[in-house]
Amino acid sequence: MQQEYLLEVEGLKKYFPLGKGRTLHAVDDVSFAIRPGETLGLVGESGCGKTTVGRTLLKLYKPDGGRIIYRGEDITKVSGRRQRELCTHMQMIYQDPYASLNPFMTIGEIVSEGLEINKIGANRMERTAMTYELLERVGLSREHANRFPHEFSGGQRQRAGIARALAVNPEFVVCDEAISALDVSVQAQIINMLMDLRELMNLTYLFIAHDLSVVRYISQRVAVMYLGKIVEIGKASEVYVHPAHPYTQGLLGAVPVADPDFEKSKTYQAMVGEVTSPINCKPGCRFANRCPYATEECRTVTPDMKAVGADHFVACHRL
Protein backbone atom coordinates (compact mmCIF):
# COMPACT_ATOMS: atom_id res chain seq x y z
CA MET A 1 0.00 0.00 0.00
CA GLN A 2 1.40 3.37 -1.03
CA GLN A 3 1.99 5.84 1.79
CA GLU A 4 -0.09 9.00 1.65
CA TYR A 5 2.90 11.23 2.42
CA LEU A 6 6.49 11.03 1.24
CA LEU A 7 7.69 13.52 3.86
CA GLU A 8 6.09 14.60 7.13
CA VAL A 9 7.41 17.39 9.33
CA GLU A 10 6.14 17.66 12.89
CA GLY A 11 6.96 20.62 15.15
CA LEU A 12 10.31 21.32 13.49
CA LYS A 13 12.53 23.81 15.34
CA LYS A 14 15.87 25.37 14.52
CA TYR A 15 17.38 28.03 16.78
CA PHE A 16 20.68 29.89 16.47
CA PRO A 17 22.31 31.17 19.69
CA LEU A 18 23.61 34.71 19.28
CA GLY A 19 25.32 35.08 22.65
CA LYS A 20 24.46 37.21 25.69
CA GLY A 21 21.28 35.19 26.27
CA ARG A 22 19.85 35.94 22.82
CA THR A 23 18.50 33.23 20.49
CA LEU A 24 17.29 33.56 16.92
CA HIS A 25 14.11 31.50 16.41
CA ALA A 26 14.63 30.82 12.70
CA VAL A 27 12.18 27.89 12.51
CA ASP A 28 9.74 27.56 15.39
CA ASP A 29 7.28 24.64 15.55
CA VAL A 30 6.73 24.14 11.81
CA SER A 31 4.56 21.23 10.61
CA PHE A 32 3.53 20.14 7.12
CA ALA A 33 3.45 17.07 4.86
CA ILE A 34 4.18 16.47 1.18
CA ARG A 35 2.62 13.73 -0.95
CA PRO A 36 4.61 11.73 -3.52
CA GLY A 37 4.84 13.59 -6.84
CA GLU A 38 3.58 16.84 -5.31
CA THR A 39 5.12 20.30 -5.30
CA LEU A 40 4.62 22.24 -2.08
CA GLY A 41 5.43 25.92 -2.45
CA LEU A 42 6.91 27.65 0.61
CA VAL A 43 6.54 31.42 0.43
CA GLY A 44 7.25 34.38 2.67
CA GLU A 45 9.38 37.50 2.82
CA SER A 46 13.17 37.42 3.15
CA GLY A 47 14.40 36.26 6.53
CA CYS A 48 11.26 34.35 7.51
CA GLY A 49 13.08 30.99 7.73
CA LYS A 50 12.23 29.33 4.40
CA THR A 51 15.81 28.36 3.51
CA THR A 52 16.46 27.18 7.07
CA VAL A 53 13.48 24.81 6.77
CA GLY A 54 14.90 23.32 3.56
CA ARG A 55 18.42 22.94 4.94
CA THR A 56 17.14 21.40 8.18
CA LEU A 57 15.05 18.84 6.29
CA LEU A 58 18.20 17.67 4.49
CA LYS A 59 20.15 17.64 7.78
CA LEU A 60 22.51 20.39 6.64
CA TYR A 61 21.40 21.96 9.92
CA LYS A 62 20.81 19.83 13.00
CA PRO A 63 17.18 20.21 14.17
CA ASP A 64 16.65 21.55 17.69
CA GLY A 65 13.23 19.95 18.02
CA GLY A 66 10.44 18.16 16.21
CA ARG A 67 10.49 15.20 13.85
CA ILE A 68 11.29 14.64 10.16
CA ILE A 69 9.60 11.50 8.83
CA TYR A 70 10.62 10.20 5.40
CA ARG A 71 8.60 7.29 4.00
CA GLY A 72 7.42 6.42 7.49
CA GLU A 73 10.92 6.48 9.03
CA ASP A 74 11.89 9.09 11.61
CA ILE A 75 15.17 10.42 10.20
CA THR A 76 15.58 13.29 12.67
CA LYS A 77 18.56 11.78 14.46
CA VAL A 78 20.03 9.40 11.88
CA SER A 79 23.73 9.69 11.10
CA GLY A 80 26.62 7.80 9.55
CA ARG A 81 25.87 5.36 6.75
CA ARG A 82 22.10 5.84 6.90
CA GLN A 83 22.51 9.60 6.55
CA ARG A 84 24.69 9.07 3.46
CA GLU A 85 22.04 6.76 2.03
CA LEU A 86 19.39 9.43 2.57
CA CYS A 87 21.50 11.88 0.57
CA THR A 88 20.75 9.81 -2.53
CA HIS A 89 16.99 10.18 -1.86
CA MET A 90 16.93 13.86 -0.86
CA GLN A 91 18.80 16.62 -2.71
CA MET A 92 18.87 20.42 -2.97
CA ILE A 93 19.06 22.90 -5.82
CA TYR A 94 20.77 25.98 -4.42
CA GLN A 95 19.87 29.62 -4.93
CA ASP A 96 23.13 31.08 -6.20
CA PRO A 97 24.44 29.37 -9.36
CA TYR A 98 27.69 31.35 -9.04
CA ALA A 99 28.54 30.23 -5.49
CA SER A 100 27.17 26.68 -5.50
CA LEU A 101 29.56 25.22 -8.11
CA ASN A 102 33.24 24.51 -7.43
CA PRO A 103 35.21 26.85 -9.76
CA PHE A 104 38.16 24.42 -9.90
CA MET A 105 36.12 21.50 -11.25
CA THR A 106 34.71 21.02 -14.73
CA ILE A 107 30.95 20.73 -15.15
CA GLY A 108 31.38 17.05 -15.95
CA GLU A 109 33.32 16.47 -12.73
CA ILE A 110 30.73 18.38 -10.70
CA VAL A 111 27.81 16.36 -12.08
CA SER A 112 29.59 13.01 -11.86
CA GLU A 113 30.91 13.53 -8.33
CA GLY A 114 27.74 12.11 -6.78
CA LEU A 115 27.93 9.10 -9.08
CA GLU A 116 31.52 8.44 -8.03
CA ILE A 117 30.91 8.85 -4.29
CA ASN A 118 27.84 6.61 -4.28
CA LYS A 119 29.36 4.12 -6.76
CA ILE A 120 26.48 4.48 -9.19
CA GLY A 121 27.33 2.82 -12.49
CA ALA A 122 29.55 -0.18 -13.15
CA ASN A 123 32.65 1.74 -14.23
CA ARG A 124 33.99 5.15 -15.23
CA MET A 125 32.82 4.77 -18.83
CA GLU A 126 29.24 4.12 -17.71
CA ARG A 127 29.34 7.04 -15.29
CA THR A 128 30.60 9.31 -18.08
CA ALA A 129 27.68 8.22 -20.26
CA MET A 130 25.27 8.94 -17.39
CA THR A 131 26.82 12.38 -16.94
CA TYR A 132 26.31 13.21 -20.62
CA GLU A 133 22.70 12.04 -20.40
CA LEU A 134 22.07 14.24 -17.37
CA LEU A 135 23.55 17.29 -19.06
CA GLU A 136 21.38 16.77 -22.12
CA ARG A 137 18.32 16.23 -19.94
CA VAL A 138 18.72 19.72 -18.42
CA GLY A 139 19.33 21.45 -21.74
CA LEU A 140 23.14 21.35 -21.94
CA SER A 141 25.31 19.22 -24.23
CA ARG A 142 28.12 16.73 -23.70
CA GLU A 143 30.58 19.31 -25.06
CA HIS A 144 29.88 21.38 -21.94
CA ALA A 145 31.26 18.64 -19.68
CA ASN A 146 34.89 19.76 -20.13
CA ARG A 147 34.25 23.43 -19.40
CA PHE A 148 34.56 25.25 -16.09
CA PRO A 149 31.72 27.15 -14.35
CA HIS A 150 33.15 30.59 -15.19
CA GLU A 151 32.60 29.83 -18.89
CA PHE A 152 28.81 29.63 -18.44
CA SER A 153 25.95 32.06 -17.98
CA GLY A 154 23.88 32.07 -14.80
CA GLY A 155 21.10 30.04 -16.42
CA GLN A 156 23.55 27.43 -17.71
CA ARG A 157 25.19 27.18 -14.29
CA GLN A 158 21.83 26.59 -12.66
CA ARG A 159 21.09 23.85 -15.20
CA ALA A 160 24.38 22.22 -14.19
CA GLY A 161 23.35 22.53 -10.54
CA ILE A 162 20.06 20.81 -11.32
CA ALA A 163 21.91 18.02 -13.15
CA ARG A 164 24.17 17.56 -10.12
CA ALA A 165 21.14 17.28 -7.80
CA LEU A 166 19.46 14.73 -10.08
CA ALA A 167 22.60 12.62 -10.64
CA VAL A 168 21.88 10.30 -7.70
CA ASN A 169 18.24 9.84 -8.83
CA PRO A 170 16.57 11.40 -5.77
CA GLU A 171 12.87 11.26 -4.90
CA PHE A 172 12.66 14.53 -2.99
CA VAL A 173 14.28 17.82 -4.07
CA VAL A 174 14.39 21.12 -2.18
CA CYS A 175 14.45 23.99 -4.68
CA ASP A 176 15.83 26.85 -2.61
CA GLU A 177 15.03 30.05 -4.52
CA ALA A 178 16.30 28.14 -7.55
CA ILE A 179 15.33 30.87 -10.04
CA SER A 180 15.59 34.11 -8.06
CA ALA A 181 19.12 34.94 -9.30
CA LEU A 182 18.21 34.46 -12.98
CA ASP A 183 16.83 36.73 -15.68
CA VAL A 184 13.05 36.61 -16.11
CA SER A 185 13.22 34.92 -19.52
CA VAL A 186 15.56 32.25 -18.13
CA GLN A 187 13.33 31.79 -15.08
CA ALA A 188 10.47 30.64 -17.29
CA GLN A 189 12.70 28.08 -19.03
CA ILE A 190 13.98 26.68 -15.73
CA ILE A 191 10.48 26.49 -14.22
CA ASN A 192 9.10 24.60 -17.23
CA MET A 193 12.10 22.26 -17.16
CA LEU A 194 11.58 21.53 -13.45
CA MET A 195 7.95 20.68 -14.14
CA ASP A 196 8.92 18.36 -16.99
CA LEU A 197 11.56 16.66 -14.82
CA ARG A 198 9.01 16.16 -12.07
CA GLU A 199 6.85 14.16 -14.45
CA LEU A 200 9.75 12.35 -16.12
CA MET A 201 11.57 11.31 -12.93
CA ASN A 202 8.62 11.12 -10.48
CA LEU A 203 10.10 13.87 -8.31
CA THR A 204 8.59 15.56 -5.26
CA TYR A 205 9.52 19.22 -4.67
CA LEU A 206 9.63 21.64 -1.79
CA PHE A 207 9.74 24.83 -3.86
CA ILE A 208 11.01 27.77 -1.79
CA ALA A 209 10.43 31.21 -3.31
CA HIS A 210 9.17 34.72 -2.64
CA ASP A 211 7.66 35.23 -6.12
CA LEU A 212 3.99 34.44 -5.59
CA SER A 213 3.13 34.12 -9.29
CA VAL A 214 5.87 31.53 -9.87
CA VAL A 215 4.80 29.51 -6.82
CA ARG A 216 1.20 29.50 -7.98
CA TYR A 217 2.26 28.26 -11.41
CA ILE A 218 4.39 25.32 -10.25
CA SER A 219 2.79 24.23 -6.94
CA GLN A 220 -0.21 22.11 -6.08
CA ARG A 221 -0.21 23.30 -2.47
CA VAL A 222 1.24 26.40 -0.81
CA ALA A 223 2.51 27.08 2.72
CA VAL A 224 2.87 30.72 3.83
CA MET A 225 5.61 31.40 6.37
CA TYR A 226 6.14 34.40 8.63
CA LEU A 227 9.00 34.81 11.13
CA GLY A 228 9.67 31.12 11.62
CA LYS A 229 6.08 29.91 11.64
CA ILE A 230 3.67 28.65 8.98
CA VAL A 231 0.54 30.82 9.18
CA GLU A 232 -1.46 29.31 6.31
CA ILE A 233 -1.31 26.15 4.20
CA GLY A 234 -3.63 24.71 1.58
CA LYS A 235 -4.26 24.06 -2.08
CA ALA A 236 -2.72 26.76 -4.25
CA SER A 237 -6.04 27.57 -5.91
CA GLU A 238 -7.72 27.97 -2.52
CA VAL A 239 -4.98 30.01 -0.84
CA TYR A 240 -4.64 32.44 -3.74
CA VAL A 241 -8.37 32.92 -4.34
CA HIS A 242 -9.52 32.82 -0.69
CA PRO A 243 -6.58 33.81 1.53
CA ALA A 244 -7.67 33.62 5.16
CA HIS A 245 -4.67 34.93 7.11
CA PRO A 246 -4.09 38.71 7.14
CA TYR A 247 -0.43 38.16 6.25
CA THR A 248 -1.34 36.12 3.16
CA GLN A 249 -3.79 38.83 2.19
CA GLY A 250 -1.05 41.42 2.63
CA LEU A 251 1.36 39.45 0.44
CA LEU A 252 -1.19 39.21 -2.35
CA GLY A 253 -2.04 42.89 -1.94
CA ALA A 254 1.62 43.79 -2.44
CA VAL A 255 1.82 42.10 -5.86
CA PRO A 256 1.56 44.78 -8.58
CA VAL A 257 -0.78 44.12 -11.49
CA ALA A 258 -0.45 45.97 -14.82
CA ASP A 259 -4.13 46.92 -14.85
CA PRO A 260 -5.15 50.24 -13.21
CA ASP A 261 -8.79 49.20 -12.85
CA PHE A 262 -7.85 45.93 -11.17
CA GLU A 263 -5.42 47.71 -8.85
CA LYS A 264 -8.17 50.10 -7.73
CA SER A 265 -10.55 47.22 -7.09
CA LYS A 266 -8.09 45.21 -4.97
CA THR A 267 -9.63 43.94 -1.77
CA TYR A 268 -6.32 43.27 -0.02
CA GLN A 269 -3.95 46.09 0.85
CA ALA A 270 -0.19 45.96 1.26
CA MET A 271 1.14 45.57 4.81
CA VAL A 272 2.35 48.42 7.00
CA GLY A 273 4.47 48.50 10.15
CA GLU A 274 7.80 46.99 11.17
CA VAL A 275 8.64 43.29 11.24
CA THR A 276 8.87 41.85 14.76
CA SER A 277 12.32 40.65 15.79
CA PRO A 278 12.73 36.85 15.63
CA ILE A 279 15.17 37.01 18.58
CA ASN A 280 13.87 35.66 21.92
CA CYS A 281 10.30 35.51 20.61
CA LYS A 282 7.47 35.79 23.12
CA PRO A 283 4.07 34.02 22.96
CA GLY A 284 1.49 35.51 20.65
CA CYS A 285 0.96 35.91 16.93
CA ARG A 286 4.15 37.24 15.36
CA PHE A 287 2.13 39.22 12.84
CA ALA A 288 0.13 41.04 15.53
CA ASN A 289 1.98 44.37 15.35
CA ARG A 290 1.30 44.62 11.59
CA CYS A 291 -2.23 43.18 11.60
CA PRO A 292 -5.20 45.59 11.38
CA TYR A 293 -7.42 43.07 13.21
CA ALA A 294 -5.09 42.28 16.14
CA THR A 295 -6.49 42.09 19.69
CA GLU A 296 -4.86 41.61 23.08
CA GLU A 297 -5.31 37.85 22.66
CA CYS A 298 -3.31 37.99 19.43
CA ARG A 299 -0.41 39.68 21.24
CA THR A 300 -0.28 37.20 24.13
CA VAL A 301 -1.54 33.80 22.90
CA THR A 302 0.06 31.89 20.03
CA PRO A 303 -2.72 30.79 17.62
CA ASP A 304 -3.14 27.13 16.65
CA MET A 305 -3.79 25.88 13.14
CA LYS A 306 -7.51 25.67 12.35
CA ALA A 307 -9.27 24.17 9.34
CA VAL A 308 -11.13 26.70 7.19
CA GLY A 309 -11.86 24.34 4.30
CA ALA A 310 -10.85 21.09 2.68
CA ASP A 311 -7.07 20.80 3.15
CA HIS A 312 -6.87 24.51 4.06
CA PHE A 313 -5.50 25.50 7.50
CA VAL A 314 -4.81 28.89 9.08
CA ALA A 315 -3.20 30.01 12.35
CA CYS A 316 -5.29 33.02 13.33
CA HIS A 317 -7.50 33.96 16.31
CA ARG A 318 -9.75 36.20 14.19
CA LEU A 319 -11.03 33.73 11.60
The answer to whether residue 303 is domain-embedded is: yes
Whole-number pLDDT of residue 54: 97
Whole-number pLDDT of residue 269: 66
Q: Are residue 225 and residue 282 in the same domain, yes or no? A: yes
The domain containing residue 227 runs over which residues? 7-89+170-315
Query: Would you give per-residue pLDDT tens digits along the chain (319 residues)?
Result: 356 899 999 999 999 999 999 999 999 999 999 999 999 999 998 889 999 999 999 999 999 999 999 999 999 999 888 999 999 999 999 998 889 999 999 999 999 999 999 999 989 999 999 999 999 999 999 999 999 999 999 999 999 999 999 999 999 999 999 998 888 889 999 999 999 999 999 999 999 998 888 999 999 999 999 999 999 999 999 999 999 999 999 988 877 776 677 666 667 666 777 888 899 998 999 999 999 899 999 999 999 999 998 899 999 998 8
Whole-number pLDDT of residue 266: 67
Q: Are residue 101 and residue 78 in the same domain, yes or no? A: no
The answer to whether residue 1 is domain-embedded is: no
Whole-number pLDDT of residue 255: 75
Q: Are residue 144 and residue 223 in the same domain, yes or no? A: no
Q: Are residue 58 and residue 20 in the same domain, yes or no? A: yes
The answer to whether residue 2 is domain-embedded is: no
Q: Are residue 310 and residue 204 in the same domain, yes or no? A: yes
Q: Are residue 120 and residue 14 in the same domain, yes or no? A: no
Q: Are residue 121 and residue 158 in the same domain, yes or no? A: yes
How open is the CA angle 215-216-222, to the nearest 5 degrees?
75
Q: Are residue 132 and residue 16 in the same domain, yes or no? A: no
Q: Are residue 193 and residue 282 in the same domain, yes or no? A: yes
Q: In this structure, what CATH number is given to the domain that contains residue 244?
A: 3.40.50.300
Q: Are residue 132 and residue 79 in the same domain, yes or no? A: no
> Which residue among 139, 169, 199 closes a domain?
169
> Which residue among 117, 145, 169 closes a domain?
169
The answer to whether residue 105 is domain-embedded is: yes
Q: Are residue 71 and residue 128 in the same domain, yes or no? A: no
Beta bridge partners of 234: 222
The answer to whether residue 12 is domain-embedded is: yes
Q: How many domains does the chain have?
A: 2
The answer to whether residue 80 is domain-embedded is: yes
The answer to whether residue 265 is domain-embedded is: yes
The answer to whether residue 253 is domain-embedded is: yes
> Which residue among 169, 202, 225 closes a domain?
169
Q: Are residue 142 and residue 184 in the same domain, yes or no? A: no
